[in-house]
Amino acid sequence: MKLAIQKLRKSFGHQVVLDDVSLSLEKVHTLALIGPSGGGKSTLLRVIAGLERPDQGEVWLNDSQIVFQEKLLRGHRRTVGTVFQTFNLFPHLTAFANVTLPLEKVHEYTPQNARESATEILERFQLMEHAHKQPAQLSGGQRQRIAIARAVAIKPKLLLFDEPTSALDPEMTGEVLDLIEELREEGRDFVLVTHQMGFAHRVADQIAILSQGRIVECGPPLQVLDQPKEEVTKQFLSRILKY
């Protein structure tokens, strides 16, 4: 993945959420976005996904600029798989239908091809036994793994994870992180918003610290997490690692 962000700014009303964010990364498989709550991590992820339009600035992914016009954004969104902290599954559909629906309606698969793709990905993630269940019949970890399967099924060029374990207990967190690490070991490119510092240290090539809408530090995990340069980073890590 090659990712370039130039002077990105985003406000909601009078609240500035992203403030002149710039970043340039080449040949990165995994970027972890960490930092204090409200620092702009999820908003930056949604801009990369094409789900939010910045007020100004540019985003380039693999040398192609993301053009924030609705017609062109629809094409960009088809190439990105996004996994949210609240699963975002359709509650009235089975796990199987949650995977096939976007394949048919967004990616124009035939019903047969959608079923084949869904079966393949659910079997791969050992979820086929839950295919007939609705989300309310699944554990939180199972729901999130279904959401990941749905994101992977579209064969995206980039996966985006927005705090995918924040709603899970420790055991279910482990299940989901194991699956994400498996995807990373396959060489998939993804951007991950997380508060799991140990996991970020293990899987990320680069870590960016966002605080008050700005990237205050970015670099390899050994640098950012073990030998931070900025006082903001040091204070954040001392708080989050205290217990």
Q: What is the pLDDT of residues 46-99, one digit of tens each?
A: 999 999 999 999 999 999 999 999 999 999 999 999 999 888 999 999 999 999
Using DSSP bridges, classify how beta strands 158-162 and 214-219 pair: parallel, antiparallel or unpaired: unpaired
Q: How many domains does the chain have?
A: 1
- Is 41 within the bounds of a domain? no
Residue with the two structure tokens 């900025």: 230
Q: Given a cut of 70, is residue 243 above it in pLDDT?
A: no
Spatial separation of the C-alpha atoms in residues 167 and 110, rounded to whole Å: 34
Using DSSP bridges, classify how beta strands 56-61 and 64-65 pair: parallel, antiparallel or unpaired: antiparallel
- Is 46 within the bounds of a domain? no
- Is 180 within the bounds of a domain? no
The pLDDT assigned to 126 comes to 92
The pLDDT assigned to 241 comes to 80
Cβ(173)–Cβ(102) below 8 Å: no
Q: What is the pLDDT of residues 150-200, one digit of tens each?
A: 999 999 999 999 999 988 988 889 999 999 999 999 999 999 999 999 999
Q: How many residues comprise the chain?
A: 243
- Is 103 within the bounds of a domain? yes
SS3 91: coil
Mention every residue, 6+ apart, whose C-beta is less than 8 A from residue 89. 95, 98, 135, 143, 146, 147, 150
Residue type at 86 in one-letter notation: T
Residues of the domain holding 101: 94-156
Nearest 5 degrees, angle CA 112-CA 122-CA 114? 20
- Is 100 within the bounds of a domain? yes
Q: For all residues of the chain together, what is the average pLDDT?
A: 95
In order of 33, 127, 150, 164, 182, the CA distances from 187 in angstroms are 19, 22, 18, 19, 9
- Is 106 within the bounds of a domain? yes
3-state percent breakdown (helix, strand, coil) of the chain, nearest 5 = 40, 25, 35
- Is 117 within the bounds of a domain? yes
